[in-house]
Amino acid sequence: MFYKEWIKIRLVFWLSFVVGIGIVVAMYAIIRGELADMPTNHYIWNMINRNFVFFTLFKFVPLGIGTLIGISQFIPEITEKRLKLTLHLPLNEEKAGLQMVTFGVISIFIIFSLMLFAFLGMGRYFFPFEVMRVAAITVAPWFMAGFTAYFVTGIVAIEPIWKYRIAYLIIGGLFVKMYFVLWEAGSYIHANAFFAALLVLFSVSILFSIYRFRKGEM
Amino acid sequence: MENIVECRNLTHYYGDKMVYEDLNFNIKKGSILGLLGKNGTGKTTTINILNGYLTPRSGECIILGENSKNLSPYVKSQIGYLIENHVQYAFMNIYQIEKFYSGFYPNWKRDAYYDLMAKLKVTPKQKISTMSCGQRSQVALGLILAQDPQLLVLDDFTMGLDPGYRRLFIDYLRNYAKAEGKTVFTTSHIIQDMERLIDECIVFDYNKVLVYMPVQEFMTTFKQFDFEVTNPNVEFDKGGLVENYEKMDNSIELFSYSTEEEVKSYLASQGIEYSNFKQVPMTLEDAFIGLTGKY
């Protein structure tokens, strides 16, 4: 199953990887230029006292990556109802669906981990640990938004009835919006665990769409 | 003879629109059953129910001993399924798709697939999406042959194929099915193709089954009689001796399971004057149109 999924997403995977890492690198290139004109202490003072967030440049990048991976994985399945082929494989249908989702999650996790690694690793070159700790807490919901966008894309794509698709889009949209309501660094420090729990619940909801597809809902 | 498929009292509706009620049919092991019908009579619905993609309102289909609503991985491995338009993973090439499927089937027959692919003028790295409809049909067929299932379910396999590929597909399929003792359930819009392929037929009309019998029996018992009537306003009651009829001015084409003598007696009993009475030989397509009508 992973072989098929890889063939579908590999171009988008490498594109997402290059764009994701590229944006982190570009962001620090900009910061490097700014720090050349301004002492680091002053820069950090701005962060603490003026709620200046230096990493807003990639705020929506994980969201875009999650959506793109979802589209590249699920749109080919619903085109010409190819999902029938997947569900006809000699596997339990739920297992087949979960394998597809697992592959997507692993792919996104790899890209996001490398982005986060680059973000924190390069950040430590410029800023102290405390600053990067708050930065990590701040970006966590953005990455979770990427996973959520992936799940929503899957659920919406596979759902056979349009009115349900729209309902899922609205619910998913509101869910994604939740990650971006607060803009200040570290705002979501107490919410991240809750977000993560909701995300786990969301991850299996694609099974409901697969079940409805199998039942032949029209 | 053992039944590979048993459909019992199958009833399905789309909303309030009835597709059929209490449909019953079996597919015997080693036979090739063709499902014939006009558009919208429920052919693909039946295939979807058979494969577990649609839950019927009532009734059940038992395939290889299991209810089609919950087929086990083993039974699914024994069903080769060809989707309408020969849909396959078009983002793969012929090498990738063989590699993908082979991982799922322990008895995968790689050579059967590549023997067929060798006949196609495609490069190994050519994506299926860039192939012609005929080439895609051969890829889909090759995958089913390699899967080596007990039951082949083919949904409108002739759609989009030119005459050469249709003939190739049918001949290859029939030879394979008969040589290996495979059971085939198929639909097609092109009835003349079915004549070369199937042993038994079911003819669907809207909401009902018109025929369910061996093709040879159908072709022997169902007849067309042409004649001219003196009174062009003559009408026939359908349902008794007359299964269907077509009228153009004074010329009548009458379709019936009755003999020539019985039809002549019927015409006489109705006081219908006629001339140039003759029985006309029919192909399966003629018989199908005769039975279901042109509209």
Mean pLDDT of A155-180: 87
User: Which residues in chain A touch residue B85, judged by CB atoms under 8 angstroms apart?
Assistant: 80
Rg (CA), chain B: 22
| Highest mean pLDDT: which range of B38-42, B98-102, B178-182 | B98-102
- Domain extent for B19: 3-217
Distance CA A95, CA A91 (A): 7
What does the pLDDT read at residue A182?
Answer: 65
Domain end among B184, B217, B250: B217
Domain end among B168, B202, B217: B217
Q: Are residues B102 and B140 in the same domain?
A: yes
Q: Where does the pLDDT of residue A90 fall: very low under 50, low under 70, confident under 90, or very high at 90 and above? A: very high
Q: Are residues B95 and B159 in the same domain?
A: yes
Q: Are residues B169 and B283 in the same domain?
A: no
User: Which residues in chain B touch residue A87, judged by CB atoms under 8 angstroms apart?
Assistant: 52-53
Q: Where does the pLDDT of residue B78 fall: very low under 50, low under 70, confident under 90, or very high at 90 and above? A: very high
Give the distance, in angstroms, between the CA of residue B200 and the centroid of all CA atoms in the same chain.
Answer: 9
Picking from A82, A87, A218, the nearest residue to B89 by CB comes out as A82
Q: Are residues B140 and B118 in the same domain?
A: yes
Picking from B73, B83, B100, the nearest residue to A90 by CB comes out as B73
Q: Say whether pLDDT at B232 is over 60.
A: yes
Q: Are residues B175 and B94 in the same domain?
A: yes
CA of B55 to nearest chain A CA: how many angstroms apart?
5
What does the pLDDT read at residue A186?
Answer: 60
B51 to chain A, any CB pair closer than 8 A? The answer is yes
A-interface mutation test, from B91, B94, B104, B152, most A Cβ less than 10 A away: B91
Domain end among B190, B217, B244: B217
Q: pTM for the full model?
A: 0.81
Q: Are residues B61 and B125 in the same domain?
A: yes
Q: Say whether pLDDT at A72 is over 90.
A: yes
What does the pLDDT read at residue A80?
Answer: 84
Q: Are residues B107 and B45 in the same domain?
A: yes
Query: What CATH number should be reported for the domain holding residue B152?
Result: 3.40.50.300
B176 to chain A, any CB pair closer than 8 A? The answer is no
What is the longest distance spanned by two Cα atoms in chain A?
A: 64
Q: Are residues B159 and B269 in the same domain?
A: no
Can you name the residues that pair with A79 across neighbouring β-strands? none
Does the distance separating the beta carbons of A84 and B53 come in below 8 Å?
yes
Q: Is the ipTM of this complex over 0.85?
A: no
Q: Are residues B80 and B95 in the same domain?
A: yes
| Number of domains chain B is built from | 2
